[in-house]
Amino acid sequence: MKAAKRTAAAEKAPAEALEGVLARVKKATAAGRSTLAIFDLDGTLFDNRTRTIFILREISEKFDNRAPELSAAFERFQDLSIVDYSLDNTLKRMGVRHPAEIAFIKQEWAKRFFSDEYQKYDMPILGAKAYVERVHGAGATAIYLTGRDVGRMLVGTTEVLRLYGFPVGVAGTMTIVKKEFEQDDELFKKEVSEYIDRLGEVVAVFENEPANSNILQARFPGADSFFVLTQHKPGAPDLKPGIRRIKDFRTGKTRPGGN
Ligand SMILES: [Mg+2]
């Protein structure tokens, strides 16, 4: 009973904090001020595990002679929890042991994972689309700030945002990707945040990488900082105090522009 009560309270708080962002945006918009909300994509608005499992399934079907252990793994496949942040760990969990097979799968996976064509297999995090739509509808500029790169992934990124109904390409939205794939993610976000700082008041930041979350919180101390509990790089630093952990974007209210 006690535990159930505590859980209910913990779940209520993030929803209130998410609603608080909307209240801030509305107030600023009414006063004629510009606000910005920064959303990371991978692991923040989207769950990428579906992209990986789709790709692995395709590899197992297409190259079953070169990936027999992977093909066999799909006979036992149960659910997405088998997909780890690291592809090496995922393959280990799936029982793929042969070094040549692992190398082959990794090469085929990377070709697909970092490409326009396969992003549509990502699954939006619960409530993400409705929430971004509401933030945008309240007058904030929704900034998609992602470590994906322009050459291989911008088209697919735009396509998948549109496919799932996120505001994209219209007034009050901005998509910022990396110029070069090789660029360091953290450095990229740090540099770009200096530019974003000049555009207006950042009211909220959403991330799933502790390092990025800490960087952006330090850069935008006035913003509400949210950390989405999905997957992140191993060996990540501790999250700085004041960053709120959320499981998803559900607030119990879904209508864009609603109260
Ligand atoms: Mg991410």
* Per-residue exposure over 197-209, b if at least 16 CB sit within 10 Å of its own CB, e if not: eeeebbbbbbbbb
3 state SS of 121 = helix
The token duo for 10 is: 């913990």
What does the alpha-carbon distance between residue 107 and residue 242 come to, in Å, rounded to a whole number?
Answer: 40
Residue 17 burial class via C-beta count within 10 angstroms: exposed 0-12, middle 13-18, buried 19 and up: middle
CA–centroid distance, 2 to ligand 1, in Å, is 35
Q: What is the mean pLDDT of residues 147-155?
A: 97
Q: What is the mean pLDDT of residues 124-129?
A: 97
Which pLDDT does position 254 carry in this prediction? Answer: 54
| pLDDT above 60: residue 2 | no
| pLDDT above 90: residue 5 | no
CA–centroid distance, 247 to ligand 1, in Å, is 14
pTM of full prediction above 0.75: yes
Phi, psi of 15 (to 5 degrees): -60, -40
Residues with CB under 5 A from ligand 1 (ion): 40, 42-43, 208
CA–centroid distance, 75 to ligand 1, in Å, is 30
pLDDT band for 252, please (50, 70, 90 cuts): confident
Residue percentage of the chain with pLDDT more than 90 = 89
Residue percentage of the chain with pLDDT more than 70 = 93
CA–centroid distance, 208 to ligand 1, in Å, is 5
pLDDT band for 243, please (50, 70, 90 cuts): very high
Q: Which residues pair with 47 in a beta bridge?
A: 123
CA 117 to chain centre: 18
CA–centroid distance, 157 to ligand 1, in Å, is 13
- Of 3.40.50.2300, 3.20.20.140, 3.30.2420.10, 3.40.50.1000, which CATH number belongs to 2-47+125-246? 3.40.50.1000
